[in-house]
Each structure stands twice: as C-alpha cells, then as structure tokens.
Chains A and B, each alone.
Chain A
Amino acid sequence: MRGKKRSGQIIILTALTMAFIILSTTIYIYQISQNLHPEDQHLHLRGFIGNVKIASRILMMGILANISNGGENGSLRYNLQRLRSFIESNYHRGRCTLSFRLCEVSPYSSGLWIFWGTDGFGVSSAKVDFSLNLADEREEVIVEYSINITTHILISATSKRVRFPGFYIIRVTIRVFNEGSPALCKNLTIYYTDYTGNWREAGSLRFYTLKDYGNGTYSARFLIFEPTGVLNRKVRVLCFDRREIRVIATTTCERI
C-alpha cells in the first residue's frame, strides 16, 4: 500500500519535471526567435549610419575643393541641405532626420576657414557638426558626429648668392598636411617675385628641381639671375592636395 502511494508521488514529480523542462525549452526557443529581428535591425542601422558619415565627409571634401577654387561660400550650406533631404527621403526603415550646424567658432565662419597667409602658412578648412536621428516603432537612435576637412601647408624659403655675380639660388621647403597629418599633394606650383615685383613661375626656369620626399615634404631649388639684388624676395606656393583642395602660402626669402 505504502509502495503504491510512493509510486504515485514519483509519477507526479516526474510529470512536473518534464513539464518544467518542456516549458523552459519553449521559453528559450521563443527568446531566440525574438532576438533575431533586433540584431538584424542594428546591423542595418550601423550600416546606414556609416554610409551617412562617409557620404557627408566626401561631400564636404568636394565642396571645400570647389570653394577653395573660387566657388561660392554659400555652396557649403546649399549642398549639405541637398544631402539632408536626399538621405531623409530615401530612408525607408522609419523616420530619419539629419541636421547640421556650420562651425562658427573662431577662426571658422559659416563652417569655413580659408586663410592664405604671407608668413608661410596657408589653410583651407571646413568644419560641420551633424546630428542623425533615426526612429522606428521599436527604438530611437541619435548619432552626433563632427566632420573637419583641413588642408594646410607650411613653407619656408632661403635665397643664397652664388659666386657668379647676379645669380641666386632659391630653396623652398613645403610641408603638406591633411587633417593635421602629413599628406601628399597632387600638384605644386612655385612663384617668386623678380626685381620689378612681378610674380614669375619657378617651374619655367631652366635650373629648377622639385624633390618629393614621399612623406608630405617637398623641396624645390632654382637658380635665378638678377643683376640688381632684390630685398625681401617673396615666394608663393600654390598647392592642390589629392582631394583637389587648393591652398596658397606666401613667405619672404631668408637671405643666407
């Protein structure tokens, strides 16, 4: 009698254990199936955010190249507005809002800082802060990022009188930077002032060499003939980096 009672208890316990195992397995499988969608969603979000960052960066490079080559300053705002409406209207996974703010912190004005100085420093730069807001029925993501495209050059020049009267060797050292790191340039043109004060292109001279060190540093050397010496001779470098952004810097030759 006691054995039969115990057998019944064991059956009940076994049934409860089995029910518990089945229930936990069902919950586990349900959780797995629920997790499939958000991961997929995050992957798409990450991809889209990366795409927007790259697109805005490339657009800003193009705009800065355009402005530094004589384009209107207002094209920065206009083209970023174009990009904003294009991205917002082509996002189909919810609501997308892309906003931007042109940098107004000195030395920037309307997102631009273009300074081609006479002390051996020249810079062309654009800086914009972006905010990307993506929302669907599940969540809302806000990404803030800043893009700064800057090309600057540093130049120095020396003028040395050679043994033959009226001949001078001019040496110019140019260093090119993209976003503060040494960068290669696409095209370099060097000008110097003659005794009348007119600008002349050094590349057209017979004795002109330009050396590329491959690390963003260039040095030019040319020989000029001028019977009357020139005091405070100026040298100007016009540089196009590999992104077609134009920078100019002018300096005065140091006599040695």
Chain B
Amino acid sequence: MHGCRLGQIRVLEAFLAVIVVFGALLLSRPIYTSYDDSVDQEILYSIGMNVLMHLDQDGDLGRLISQRDWTEISSRLSILLPIGVSYNLTVYDEELNILNNSPILSGDLNAKGVVSIQYVVVDRESLNLYIVRLQLAWVK
C-alpha cells in the first residue's frame, strides 16, 4: 500500500517536471522570436544605411534628386540592395513636401518587419537639402 502511494507521487513529480520544462520553453519563446526579429531589423537597417551612403558618395544622390531622375535612383537601389529585400523610397524637400511624383519601389512592403531609414541628402551644385525615407522589408 505504502509502495503504491510512493509510485503515484513519483508519477506526479514527473508530470510536474514536464510542466515546468514546457512552461519555461513556452515563456522564453516569444523573447527569442522578438530577438530574431530585432536582429533581422538591425541587418536591414545596416544594409539600407550602407546603400544610402554608397549612393550618396561624392553627392551623387543629391544630384540625381535635383535632376528628378527617379528611374536612375530606382535602378541603382535595385542593383545595390540584395535579392529578397523590397523597398520604397520617398524624397522630401526642405519644407517636407514629397518630391517624387512616381513611386520608387520594388516588391511588396506589407510584411511585418518594415524598417524605415531617414537620411539627409545635400545637392552639391544647388546646395538644396533633402530628406529621403527608405523603407525596407524582407520578402517573405
């Protein structure tokens, strides 16, 4: 009789242990998921910032904006950004009016983790100042 009770307690203990382990796994999972998302977003941000700085080398981006050459900007972005990244670029002037009358985009940005990068651009010739907002997302 005593041995039988001891066995039941062992079984209960085993169940409790299983509950504790699975509980811990379930609790920590959202944190790791958000950590993964954050790393993804950091990578996207780094890619976007590097691409904008590369485009802006020697003031090329400012010149293209002043010339309203959206096609050239779009093709350069498509070349510089890795495959699997969709983007949308919006150009604002000093009064924050949108300048690009045609969308500068590629792919779908309806994904969950969209990264937005704001970048100040100067045109060397006209000395005009612009803000570009580059939105990036991984294509799922």
Say yes or no: A25-B62 contact (C-beta < 8 A), given A32-B31, A58-B122.
no
Beyond A32-B35, A33-B31, whether A22 also contacts B24 by CB under 8 A is yes
In the assembled complex, the Cα of A47 lies from the Cα of B59 at a distance in Å of 17
CA distance in complex: A55, B120 (Å) = 7
Measured between beta carbons, the chain A residues less than 8 angstroms from B99 are: none
The reply on B81 being an interface residue by CB < 8 A is: no
For B46, the chain A residues whose CB sits under 8 A away are 43
Contact of B129 among A29, A33, A83 (CB under 8 A): A83
Q: How far is the CA of A85 from the CA of B123 in the complex (A)?
A: 17
| CB pair B35 A243 closer than 8 Å | no
Number of interface residues of B (CB under 8 A): 31
Contact at A40–B42, with CB atoms within 8 Å?
Answer: yes
A52: chain B residues at CB < 8 Å are 120
Does B129 contact A82, Cβ atoms closer than 8 Å? Answer: yes
* Contact for B122 among A22, A55, A243, CB less than 8 A: A55
Q: Which residues of A contact B125 (CB under 8 A)?
A: 62, 65, 244
Q: In the complex, what residues of B have CB within 8 A of residue A39's CB?
A: 38, 42
Contact partners of A40 in chain B: CB under 8 A: 38, 41-42
- A50 and B42 form a contact (CB under 8 A): no
A36 at the interface (CB under 8 A from B): yes
Cβ contact within 8 Å between A36 and B45: no
Q: Beyond the given A47-B45, A62-B122, A65-B125, could you list 11 further A-B residue pairs with CB under 8 A, ordered by the A residue number? A: A32-B35, A51-B53, A51-B119, A55-B122, A59-B122, A66-B127, A79-B127, A82-B129, A87-B120, A90-B118, A243-B58
| Per-residue interface assignment for chain B, residues 106 to 133, with 1 indicating a CB less than 8 Å from any chain A CB and 0 otherwise | 0000000000011111111101010100
10 interchain residue pairs of minimum CB distance? A62-B124, A47-B49, A58-B59, A58-B122, A59-B122, A55-B120, A86-B129, A55-B122, A36-B38, A62-B127
Q: Does A54 contact B (CB under 8 A)?
A: yes
B-contacting residues, A32-70, CB 8 Å? 32-33, 36, 39-40, 43-44, 47, 50-52, 54-55, 58-59, 61-63, 65-66
Known contacts A40-B38, A59-B127, A62-B127; is A25 also within 8 Å of B24 by CB? yes
**Known contacts A51-B53, A54-B53, A66-B127; A83 and B28 CB within 8 A of each other:** no
Binding site for B on A (CB under 8 A): 18, 22, 25, 29, 32-33, 36, 39-40, 43-44, 47, 50-52, 54-55, 58-59, 61-63, 65-66, 79, 82-83, 86-87, 90, 92, 242-244
Complex-state Cα separation, A246 to B38, whole angstroms: 48
| B3 CB, nearest partner CB in chain A, Å | 15
Residues 26 to 66 of chain B near chain A (Cβ within 8 Å): 28, 31, 34-35, 38, 41-42, 45-46, 49, 52-53, 56, 58-59, 62
In the bound complex, residues from chain A placing their C-beta under 8 Å from that of B45 are 43-44, 47
CB distance from B23 to the nearest CB of A (A): 10
Do A58 and B31 have beta carbons less than 8 Å apart? no
B123 to chain A, nearest CB (A): 7
Asked if residues B121 and A55 are in contact (CB atoms below 8 Å), the reply is yes
**Which B residues touch A242, using CB under 8 A?**
58
CB-based nearest B residue for A18: B20
A90 B131 Cβ-Cβ under 8 A: yes
The residues of A that contact B131 with a CB separation of less than 8 Å are 90
Given the complex, which residues of B lie within 8 Å of A244, measured CB to CB?
124-125
Residues of A within 8 A of B124 (CB): 58-59, 61-62, 65, 243-244
